[in-house]
Amino acid sequence: MAWASFLQCVVLLLLCVHAAMASSDVPLYKNPEAAVEARVKDLLSRMTLEEKIGQMMQIERSVANASTIQTNFIGSILSGGGSVPKEQASPTDWMDMVDGFQKAALSTRLCIPLMYGIDAVHGHNNVYGATIFPHNVGLGCTRDPDLVRRIGEATALEVRGTGIQYVFAPCIAVCRNPSWGRCYESYSEDPNLVRNMTEIIVGLQGKTTKPGSPFLAGQYNVAATAKHFVGDGGTNHGADERNTLSSYKSLVNIHMVGYFDAIAKGVSTIMVSYSSWNGQKMHSNRFLISHVLKKQLGFKGFVISDWQGIDKITIPAGINYTSSVELGVNAGIDMIMIPFDYPSFHADMLALVKSGHISMRRINDAVGRILRVKFTIGLFEHPLADRSLAKMVGAQDHRDLAREAVRKSLVLLKNERNGNAPFVPLSKRATKILVAGSHADDIGRQCGGWTTTWQGQSGGITPGTSVLEAIKSTIDTSTELVYEQLPDSNFAKGKGFDYAIVVVGEDPYAEFFGDDADLTLPNMGTQTIKNVCTLVKCVVVLVSGRPLVVEPYLPLMNGLVAAWLPGTEGKGIADVLFGDYPFEGKSSRTWFRRASQLPMNVNDQQYDPLFPYGFGLTTAAVVGDAASSRSSTLLFFFTLVLCFI
């Protein structure tokens, strides 16, 4: 018995030794139970300079393939605006593409997974069939941080439903001049409202358990990006990518406020702005990136450049590229969105490190930050797509959420009264109504820029419900509806319309192409207002990414609704127009009289707006017309009975 026990002990000891030796063969960085910082340190110690430089590169999917990834140790790939696997690609098409890239990365020496990034600025906007939420300018009007948190959660699920783990959102710019073509990406001119809306980060990433630490709760969330650091919304004349002139105190108190909360909520990455601060390009601003952002604010994630942002350090862009790489990386940018000419970047980085112009300490800081995010979000343990999430793309409960967001974002700017009755809400049981305007039946115009393509486009670009379709499904079946996209001056004459709904606005645009110093309503919109509203009582629904000059046409309207850029769920507009829900939105921007007044923001000394910041008329939700009629009938008979008692 004693010998048997001894032999058992020897066997157990040998098994323990074998297990210990086997476990020692597994690198520490591959142990999910190890501390993140220990994993980062271990992996860094195993990497060559070439592998580290590869982690700092983010290239566009159109130039990516297995050979490129494996040869250059690429750390990240992105889809630019409109860059898709194929036209109207399905969630499975996206997953197949992303997993194909990922498998190439996992076959490299150290098996470091790559991060796939995409703009998801109002839903998963690059993807056909995804839910498109209102742009941020509209969400700011809701004053509802919990709503944007839920939008973040839904967006994360749809992004994960295509195999992607990383989004370039939210934009937390404080737009101070609506002439800027990206103004609709800003929640407000008020920095405090912007900081409240950073709650979307919690929805995208999951709730951080340790303030200031990047955190991703499971496989149903994504790494987020706060952008664009810093001052992008304050450029002179609202010109895209230009110069923000301000004191440091003003920069902090207006444009940096949202970053305090974003970092506290654990945002994983921060994107640098194309713009300059007092003449210095942000992509080369070492003081603001390395000293303020990383040291003073304690940001632990990684800093990413904007699209070809390194190139744009110089004017013209790309001249003396090697110097731009040196300036950008030494300023503190960790991941470089190249996106095409990765061979030049790789060669320049090798030369700059070997010559001592970029230190290994800076390289290790950059790569350590990138790896920290990859470890923290669980990318090493779950690098491939969860195929069961494909059904999340365009899911009905997400569309219902978007419809709620539309309802809450609408701002009622004018509502005439006829005696005691306001013009809005409209009657569902009118005899005959006219719906007119370029934007009444156009999903593309309804969604705006950054929808399926970079600049956006008109037409049926993705599944959704137009305003016209929403109206048709809301009004009584006995009501005659006439739709005329561009009626002439005689169209509405003598037709017996009870009222008209005129839906007009801006054509889609995004950065640079959207810059507009005049901010006038396109001519076909003003002409439609004149042709209809001079003959028929009308409510104008304005679809735009910012306030526009409307004062000259305001007397013609009985009602005016700012619908901003509502996205795919047009039923949210009909819900409120016809009184199923109340108007409750409050403008996130000052509505100017004339463009010559700009910039004009709340609390300015010279402040003479058409509608002030925070303005918004309210209505009470009413029971539908049919129900009201039944209630009135019941009340009449009840009163009649009482008279005979």
Catalytic residues: 306, 511
CA distance readout (Å), 150 to 153, 204, 207: 5, 9, 12
Amino acid type, 167: V
Phi first, then psi, for residue 345 (nearest 5°) are -60, -45
As given in the structure block, the two tokens for residue 406 are: 């539309």
- Secondary structure of 28-67 in HEC code, one letter for each residue: HHHCCCCCHHHHHHHHHHHCCHHHHHHHCEEEEHHHCCHH
Amino acid type, 313: I
d(C-alpha 90, C-alpha 3), whole Å: 67
SS3 for 577? helix
Amino acid type, 388: S
Selection from 332, 310, 331, 333 nearest residue 322 by Cα: 310
- Secondary structure of 388-448 in HEC code, one letter for each residue: HHHHHCCCHHHHHHHHHHHHHHCEEEEECEECCEECCCCCCCCCEEEEECCCCCCHHHHHC
As given in the structure block, the two tokens for residue 67 are: 């050979």
Kindly compute the dihedral angle of the four CA atoms of residues 620, 623, 626, 627, in this order, to the nearest 10 degrees: -150
d(C-alpha 111, C-alpha 533), whole Å: 65
d(C-alpha 165, C-alpha 224), whole Å: 9
Q: What share of the chain is helix, strand, coil (3-state, %, to 5)?
A: 40, 15, 45
DSSP-assigned letters across all residues of 119-171: --BTBSTTSTT--BPPPHHHHHTTT-HHHHHHHHHHHHHHHHTTT--EE---B
